[in-house]
Chains A and B, each alone.
Chain A
Amino acid sequence: MSVHTEVALAGLRLRNPLILASGILGSTASLLVRAGSAGAGAVTTKSITKEPRSGFENPVIYELEYGLLNAIGLANPGMDFFKKELKRAKQLLRIPLIASVAGSRPEEYADLAARAEEAGADAVELNLSCPHVKGMGLDVGHDPKLVREIVEAVKGSVNCPVLAKLSPNVTNIVEVGKAAIDGGADVLVAINTVRAMVIDVDSKKPVLSNKYGGLSGPAIHPIAVRCVYELYEAVGDTVPIIGVGGVMDWRDAVELMLAGARAVGIGTALYTYGLKAFKVILKGIVNYVKEQGFRNLMDITGLAHKYS
């Protein structure tokens, strides 16, 4: 008996549920295509802003045993330049292309999303959750009212599915998730990185130039599982969830799916294991699903709720 790996995600058809997470390798068409060739089911671009941003000064990254701390600072070439990359990526890719956008006001998100769609994006993801840039991402994403307004504005400007990427750095992620759904979000994505800091004991200084950064990787996996579980409990199958956070192997991916994720984002694992992570993780999920007697990967979504 063979297992179907395809998943449906608000009108998008993915050949498998593994999605390149935003900000990892997604800064050029060439890298998006490389992730596609490596086996991703869909790819997400780096978050794009209206103006070009050079990001924070180095150091912008720090490797820990249990994950990565980063404050890249949303470095990106801006939508004017990036439209060319999107067009090129769209021409070359055979899988859905998700454009991530970041801004501070509803009209700004709406305009960015419309331009991304025009350039060929199959879906737009709203970064409502970057933890280290003032006035963007999390600064807007912790306010349910603003989140609703942003999603509403974007829904009014594009025809493609709209994904709302949520932050774990809020008291109640369900409240923000519901606000996004009220605004018309087609998919919820959880989670972005967790706000964190590392201090060097010799120089007695925070390591990152921005002092604060976002933690990703194994350290945040249980937080991601909790967030996805809470969201699924609240929204069930009405709006699909993409689970992201510390997926290093198939077990981590399956855990997020059991918690309620229909698809799974892969980020830090690509640093740890390289691009082969997509194929290795997918193979493990397929084996698990087969052994458990299911025919579709989608069949295991949310099962943890049934048994708890």
Chain B
Amino acid sequence: MRFCVSSQVVRLAYIKGRVHGLNKPIERVLWCQIKLDEPLKPEPGQFVMLWIPGQGEIPLSISDYSVDEGILELVIAKVGKVTTYIHERLKEGDLVALRGPYGRGFSVVRESTCLIVAGGCGLAPFPFLVRKLLEARSSVDVILGFKTASEVFHVAKFVHLARRTFVATDDGSYGLKGTVVDVIKDVVDIKGYDIVYVCGKEKMMKAVVDLCREHNVRCEASLERYMKCGIGICGACVLDPLGLRVCRDGPVFSSTILALIEDFGQSWRDHCGRKIPIPES
């Protein structure tokens, strides 16, 4: 008997690994390398459930993965209970456990011209995607948006891989002044891209998806919802009205599908499953 998710056979039980490298590019963000005991076969855009015994288990995007070294990279923003514990207590050499990789990731298109759009920590899944796109002989432009200069991080990771990297801050304290949407409208020619990938706050993603639809450009967005099981059975992460599960049918969805999802950019569910509006910030 085989247990499968999205027609790929997944590993059962937690995969163990040790914290290999830790670094805080900015106060709010931890960059973490984990050397795994067993090899993974992740796709860009997939996620893992990271378990910190006694603290909790949270979904995190695979930020990068090196097959040769078996090293997984995560980008972890400090927002609440588990992430704060990770920020304050995790040390090099610590044993961690994770399950996955789960979900459907980004399409890695061949020999195409691609644009990546990321807001803040939404850049997490993109280092891995950029490498995979380059391996597929595609060229990649990147737009990174942050609130202000003190929040800017990981720019160098993209600059040396991407054809062009644009950085924008809301207050203009670093790079261009404005949002990523402003950069798309004013600086690049969106019609020149075969595909646009976006990750960040959902209202921003909605604006980018709408812009792409307007110009008939293919687009994929990576969504976030509160997750419990991560494997598509509990219903915590469902999107109406199609009943799509972010953990199993996503987290990456195409703009064609997103056009049919009334929850996109509008609402998500709290821990009990009640639908609530997505907060503005």
Contact = CB atoms under 8 A, between A and B. Distances in A.
B235 A46 contact: yes
B228 A271 contact: no
A28 interface: yes
Interface in A13-35: 23-34
Chain A contact residues: over half helix, strand or loop, or mixed? loop
Interface string A48-79: 00001111011111111110101010011110
B228 A53 contact: no
A76 B273 contact: yes
Most buried by B among A52, A62, A63, A70: A63
A248 interface: yes
A268 B231 CA distance: 11
A238 B132 CA distance: 62
Contact of B228 (A55, A63, A267): A55
A213 to B, nearest CB: 12
29 contacts: A27-B234, A27-B238, A30-B242, A32-B243, A52-B274, A54-B270, A58-B57, A60-B229, A60-B234, A61-B231, A63-B3, A68-B233, A72-B229, A75-B228, A76-B273, A77-B272, A77-B274, A78-B272, A200-B53, A202-B97, A203-B53, A205-B53, A207-B14, A248-B1, A268-B233, A270-B232, A271-B3, A272-B3, A274-B4
A64 B235 contact: no
A41 B273 CA distance: 25
Contacts of B229: 60-61, 70, 72
Nearest to A204: B53
Interface string B70-111: 000000000000000000000000010101000000000000
A52 B238 CA distance: 17
B3 A24 contact: no
Contact of B243 (A31, A63, A65): A31
Nearest to B6: A274
B177 interface: no
A52 B233 contact: no
Contact of B240 (A30, A77, A207): A30
Interface string B237-281: 011111101000000000000000000000001111111000000
A27 B235 contact: yes
Interface string B1-30: 111111100101110100000000000000
Interface of A: 23-34, 46, 52-55, 57-66, 68, 70, 72, 75-78, 81, 200, 202-203, 205, 207, 209, 218, 248, 267-268, 270-274
Contact of A25 (B54, B227, B235): B235
A28 B240 contact: yes
B152 to A, nearest CB: 31
Contacts of B184: none
A205 B55 CA distance: 11
Contacts of A205: 53-54
Contacts of B271: 54-55, 75
B95 A203 contact: yes
B272 A272 contact: no
Contacts of A52: 272-274
Contacts of A76: 272-273
Contact of A209 (B1, B4, B56, B233): B56
Given A28-B238, A54-B271, A271 B232 contact: yes
A65 B3 contact: yes
Interface in B47-61: 49, 51, 53-54, 56-58
A54 B230 contact: no
Given A30-B241, A55-B228, 20 more contacts: A25-B233, A27-B235, A30-B240, A31-B243, A32-B243, A58-B56, A58-B58, A63-B12, A63-B13, A65-B1, A75-B234, A75-B272, A75-B273, A81-B273, A203-B53, A268-B233, A270-B232, A270-B233, A271-B5, A271-B231
